[in-house]
Amino acid sequence: MKFDKEKIKKILSGVIDSDNVININHLGGEIIIDINSTNPTLKHKKELENRILDNLKKSYSEEHNYKLNINVVKPTIPQNANRLDNIKNIIAISSAKGGVGKSTLTANIACSLKKMGFKVGVLDADIYGPSMHIMFDLVGSKPMAVNVDGKSKMSPIESYGIKILSIGFFTNMDQAVVWRGPMASKALNQLIFDADWGELDFLLVDLPPGTGDIHLSIMQKISINGALIISTPQIVALADARKGVSMYKQENINIPVLGIVENMAYYQIPNDDTKHYIFGKDGAKNLAEDFKIPFLGEIPIIQQIRESADVGRPLSIDEDSATAFIYDEITKKMITFLLERNKNLPPTEILKIKTMAGCQ
């Protein structure tokens, strides 16, 4: 059979966007196809490969040998309608309860994104219990003022190439932040709008636990592309996580939940394969299934995670650790669902109401 490039192109266009087909060649009896894919997960790569080969065998020819080179490329993430024009994606990271590992997840996802080549910022909106200044080894640092178009703005502090702003830069470590809602909202406003964030692919917003004033305040100001929810597997944490999911799903809030992460899923004694499900098993996974929300992965209890958070060097900044790999995989899945969300849904509208029953 004569090599028919156009026919192959047409068959491929039924499986993958034609822009992603880079080259089709016939060499030494083999048909070689180079393809770009923006989805970084191995699972997707395998599925794409199978779909393409099935289609070619069915609609082109059974007898040829096909060689597929699938190149994973960095996605161009479309601009979204935030009031912060230079920030392409704002992701809220939330938990219903405190102490379940939300800030640790935020810091590690930020580092995974940075490793992938994205421009990343972290806004520590956990006004009453900030921790990003600790997790990024910035205790005692103070943001500098810069002049932007005649206006004085705060310059986020960079650590490991990630831009950070936290209320923790302005408070004493031993001092409790005792602010009423409006004061906290005002401080947050400054961290968001009186800051020179520059261009970012991602701004991760580390929200306080629960579903309260600060959440509403943020939703009234910026258009959040999606939210991640983290929970530990025990019943009391899950009950609150349900409330968190319900908040995002409320008709007038309507922020897509990109996924749920289960933290402290189990503990393994070093050099022993047995997994000890200290807080229960699969709780967050089941919650994700109930709500038909993607489950992004489980993170075991690992001493190193706690240690690296305490010394201010998020573990996932390093390339070659098995634990960094867990955060990297969660981040890749988050990107996959974010791209889907940005493609299929309009930008999230900024919340218009002042207060809301059930969210206070």
305 touches ligand ADP (CB under 6 A):
yes
SS3 218: helix
The CB-of-165 to ligand ADP minimum distance in angstroms stands at 17
167 touches ligand ADP (CB under 6 A):
no
Rounded Cα distance, 155 and 147, in Å: 9
For the segment 176-235, give every residue that binds ligand ADP (CB under 6 A). none
The CB-of-93 to ligand ADP minimum distance in angstroms stands at 9
For the segment 87-116, give every residue that binds ligand ADP (CB under 6 A). 95, 98-104
299 touches ligand ADP (CB under 6 A):
yes
Q: Identify which range of 60-68, 142-150, 301-309, 339-347 contacts ligand ADP by CB under 6 A.
A: 301-309
166 touches ligand ADP (CB under 6 A):
no
Where helices occur in 79-174 by DSSP H, the ranges are 102-115, 132-135
Answer for which of 37, 39, 82, 263 binds ligand ADP (CB under 6 A) is 263
Rounded Cα distance, 147 and 157, in Å: 15
Residue 3 vs 325, nearer CB to ligand ADP: 325
Helical packing angle, 303-311 and 102-115, nearest 10°? 80
Cα dihedral 91, 309, 177, 138 in deg (nearest 10): -90
**58 Cβ contact partners less than 8 Å away, ≥ 6 residues apart:** none
Residue 89 vs 104, nearer CB to ligand ADP: 104
For the segment 306-335, give every residue that binds ligand ADP (CB under 6 A). 306, 309
Residue 274 vs 344, nearer CB to ligand ADP: 274
- How many residues can be counted in the chain? 360
CA angle 125, 346, 21 (to 5 degrees): 110
Answer for which of 301, 339, 350, 356 binds ligand ADP (CB under 6 A) is 301
Rounded Cα distance, 205 and 203, in Å: 6
Answer for which of 204, 264, 324, 359 binds ligand ADP (CB under 6 A) is 264
Q: Of 295, 290, 294, 285, give the one whose Cα is nearest residue 233.
A: 285
Residue 21 vs 91, nearer CB to ligand ADP: 91
The CB-of-224 to ligand ADP minimum distance in angstroms stands at 18
Q: Of 301, 269, 265, give the one whose Cα is nearest residue 280.
A: 265
Answer for which of 131, 225, 316, 342 binds ligand ADP (CB under 6 A) is 131
Q: How far is CA 209 from CA 94, 130, 145, 240, in A?
A: 6, 11, 30, 10
Residue 12 vs 134, nearer CB to ligand ADP: 134
Rounded Cα distance, 227 and 172, in Å: 30
Residue 53 vs 302, nearer CB to ligand ADP: 302
Residue 300 vs 347, nearer CB to ligand ADP: 300
Place of tokens 């969300």: 341
Which residues contact ligand ADP by CB under 6 A? 95, 98-104, 131, 263-264, 299, 301-302, 305-306, 309
